[in-house]
Amino acid sequence: MADVLNILTVDVEEYFQVSNFEKVISREEWDSFASRVAPPIQKLLEMFADRKVKATFFVLGWLARRQPRLIREIHDAGHQIGSHSSWHKLIYDQSPQEFRSDLKESMEILSDITGTAVTAYRAPSFSITEKSLWAFEILAEEGIRYDSSVFPIFHDRYGLPRAPVTPFQIPTQSGLIWEVPASVVRISGINLPVAGGGYFRLYPYWLTYALCRKIHREGRPVVTYIHPWELDPEQPRLPRLPWPTRFRHYVNLAKTEHKLSRLLGHFNWGTLETALNQWLTQHSELQTLTPGRSHAE
């Protein structure tokens, strides 16, 4: 399966904007923190250029408004730009009206910067769950065609365990959305998350590699996701964090760059749109998830 085109994604946000820190840093405080996102983004762009790979960058609207030149540089390098919301709010903590407003704001900002329509989306912290399946209808209505917001696992903050583990289609009144879930491997009846975020930092590389190979044997592309702050081990440490929060955010930050370099070298990578379309040409039997009744606003 050496020719499998896997999906390389980056969630573009500052270290102080993660959901883990919501209880200690309010959104009103964001502007008081010095930005640290540009150096790791430059590092990622260099790594991707060296490997001749393209990625999908899911960009926070708040950040794009303040650093349009950085987002334009990502776009000009040939990478796909998607939305990661405007304010990094969990979808199930919003009303449908609030979600639509946040989504539209981010899409307008990114479209103005790049001059192209935004058709890809990833929810903050994979927050499309059983409580927020109504979001798909709104995404489709606003022009999103590719989504990567579902994680088929059990987790205290996110997860849709019943979702398919392969790319699948979601019918809505405004057309199909293609969902590309974060990668998992089923072991002993449990979906084990693979190749992204804290899981990528926590697992030894040999295990990530072996699990990625297993995903290929099952006929699926690997979906990896990285955050710029994961390549910034010198970022300020916030005081008085609960131990689980501190562990999730800081574990093995110094190892991320080396692990990512190895992963880029061992597998083929492309944008969400390109890799999904290649996968679809090879698979005729597709799974569907129906979100249910349309949302009420």
Each of the 297 residues of the chain gets a pLDDT tens digit; together they read 457 899 999 999 999 999 999 989 999 999 999 999 999 999 999 999 999 999 999 999 999 999 999 999 999 999 999 999 999 999 999 999 999 999 999 999 999 999 999 999 999 999 999 999 999 999 999 999 999 999 999 877 888 999 999 999 999 999 999 999 999 999 988 899 998 999 999 999 999 999 999 999 999 999 999 999 999 999 999 988 999 999 999 999 999 999 999 999 999 999 999 999 999 998 877 888 887 643 434
Task: Please give the Cα distance from 13 to 48 (Å, whole number).
Answer: 18
With a threshold of 0.75, does the pTM exceed it? yes
Query: Is the domain 5-288 a CATH 3.20.20.370 member?
Result: yes
> What residues form DSSP beta bridges with 176?
171
Residue 56 and residue 7 in contact, taking contact as beta carbons nearer than 8 Å: yes
Closest by CA position to 148, among listed 55, 284, 266: 55
Parallel, antiparallel or unpaired: strands 175-179 and 190-193: unpaired
Which residues lie closer than 8 Å to 286 by C-beta, 6 or more apart?
A: 167, 168, 169, 280
